[in-house]
Amino acid sequence: MSIQDVSAEELARLLHHYRGALAHNIDAQKTEGASWDRTPLSERRLMVAAAKLALLELASGPPKHERRSYFAKPGEAEWGC
């Protein structure tokens, strides 16, 4: 299976499942019974949107070594005290 074969909805559902399974060991009360179908629609939409962005980034190939515009260039950062 390749990245192109995975839908954002499938990825979001799997991430939700594994997050719940892993968090269950840490905080059982919070994750108990937290199924995808009972997750609020707004949260599911947010997770699907994040999964779409992740799939697009993964499908675009290895990251290019470029400086992101939101990082200051060396010596330009303002350090307020």
pLDDT per position as a tens digit, 12-71? 998 988 888 888 666 554 545 568 888 899 989 999 999 988 888 888 777 666 555 666
Choose among 21, 2, 20, 9: nearest CA to 52. Answer: 9
Specify the pLDDT at position 61.
74
The rounded percent of the chain whose pLDDT value lies above 90 is 11
Residue 57 near residue 11, CB atoms below 8 Å: no
Mean pLDDT, rounded, of the chain: 77
Domain ranges of the chain: 3-59
